[in-house]
Structure formats: structure tokens, C-alpha cells
Chains A and B, each alone.
Chain A
Amino acid sequence: QLQLQESGPGLVKPSETLSLTCIVSGGSISSSTYYWAWLRQPPGKELEWVGSIYYNGNTYYNPSLKSRVTISADTSRNQFSLRLSSVPAADTAVYFCARLISGGWFFDYWGQGTLVTVSS
């Protein structure tokens, strides 16, 4: 059974960099069938796709965040990471990692989510 688990600080100061890691177990992120994604959900708001990474390292970002986002993968550790720079309070959200199905472009497995609060 595939499992994803987010980890990282729950509190980040404004203007600093938010860093999260998603550890994947029960399956390989090196598979060509899937992409791996980050999404977020601010309190009381809809989900937002942040970006995705493919096994070959190709990345795809939401244009609204593109200048501040970096997604990378470590295949040796079977994990992928998110860095979001220069965060304002509006980046406060529950951040999810998920598996994205190639072709259908839907998210079939999700991590439990982790709340990141941006505050001084």
C-alpha cells in the first residue's frame, strides 16, 4: 500500500523559506507512470496545486507561485521536497503531497497533510 508522509517545520517566519519533504513508502518515485505533487489548502479555502515533479526531474509549477517555488526529488531516499521562498502570511495553509496519475491528471494517493503557519 502506497503511503506518503509530509515532514517539516510547522512555523515559518515571514520572508523566510518554507521547506517540506514528502517520504514515499510502498512504491518508487522513479516510476515513469506517475508524477509527484504538492498541493495546499489555506484555512477555509479551496485546494491549490503548487507544482509537480516527474521521475526524470522535469518540474511543473503553478504560475502564481512559479517565481518562489522549487520542487526536487531524491530518488535514493524515495522522497521529494518543496521549497517556497519569501513567504508572506498568505502562504499559511495545510500542505499535502500526493501522487499524480499521468494522463488522467488526478491525485490518487495523498499524505495526511501538514499545517504550516507563517507568523513572526
Chain B
Amino acid sequence: DIQMTQSPSSLSASVGDRVTITCRASQSISNYLIWYQQKPGKAPKLLIYAASSLQSGVPSRFSGSGSGTDFTLTISSLQPEDFATYCCQQSYNTPYTFGQGTKLEIK
């Protein structure tokens, strides 16, 4: 199975900050990388697919980049509703696997 490792595990930031979250795959996955946002007690919400394609309806302050094994999710200017947990998923092959999540907290 492909292992997905996110860093950091948690992050404190303020409204208006620019933040970057990293996801690393244990082998090359081309651009088969997806980012989700999850709030407590809720289902994950799709943010970005194919490493850098923004899902319809997702604000443009979210962006993704990377290919191969190293990927980043960037939020350009944090809004109050962005404080949540973010996780990555590889879709290069089955079993699809997820990162452990990065919890973004208010400083």
C-alpha cells in the first residue's frame, strides 16, 4: 500500500495568515493527489483533485501543487470557516489511502 504522510500534524494560525500543508507519498503517484477538508462530526469535503484542480464551489484562496511524491495545499488568506482538519488521499492505485490529517487551529 502507498503510505501518505502529512506535516505538520497540527498548526496554529490567525485569520488572514497564509498557510501551507505538506503531503508526501511513499512512492511516486504522478498527480493522483486529492485534498479534503473535514470539520468535527461532518463528512470530508472535496477541495482539490488531480493535485491542483479546484473543485467547483471551493474558494480560490485554496490551491494545490506538486507531483511525484511531494504535494502542498496552500490557503492564501485564512478565513474563520477554514479552521478544520485537512487530509490528503492518493488515487494512483488501490487501496486508496489517506494521510493522517493536519488540524488547523486558531492562534
Task: Name A residues whose Cβ lies closer than 8 Å to a Cβ of B.
Answer: 45-49, 60, 62-64, 96, 98, 101, 104-108, 110-113
Contact = CB atoms under 8 A, between A and B. Distances in A.
Given A47-B89, A62-B95, A64-B95, A108 B55 contact: yes
B34 A106 contact: yes
A106 B32 CA distance: 9
Chain B binding site: helix, strand, loop or mixed by DSSP?
loop
Chain A binding site: helix, strand, loop or mixed by DSSP?
loop
Interface of B: 32, 34, 36, 42-46, 49-50, 55, 87, 89, 91, 94-101
A113 B44 CA distance: 10
A62 B98 CA distance: 13
Contacts of A110: 43-45
A113 B39 CA distance: 12
Given A105-B32, A106-B89, A110-B44, A46 B95 contact: no
Contacts of A62: 94-95
Contact of B100 (A46, A49, A104): A46
Given A47-B89, A48-B98, A110-B44, 11 more contacts: A46-B99, A46-B100, A47-B98, A49-B94, A49-B96, A60-B94, A101-B49, A107-B89, A108-B55, A110-B43, A112-B43
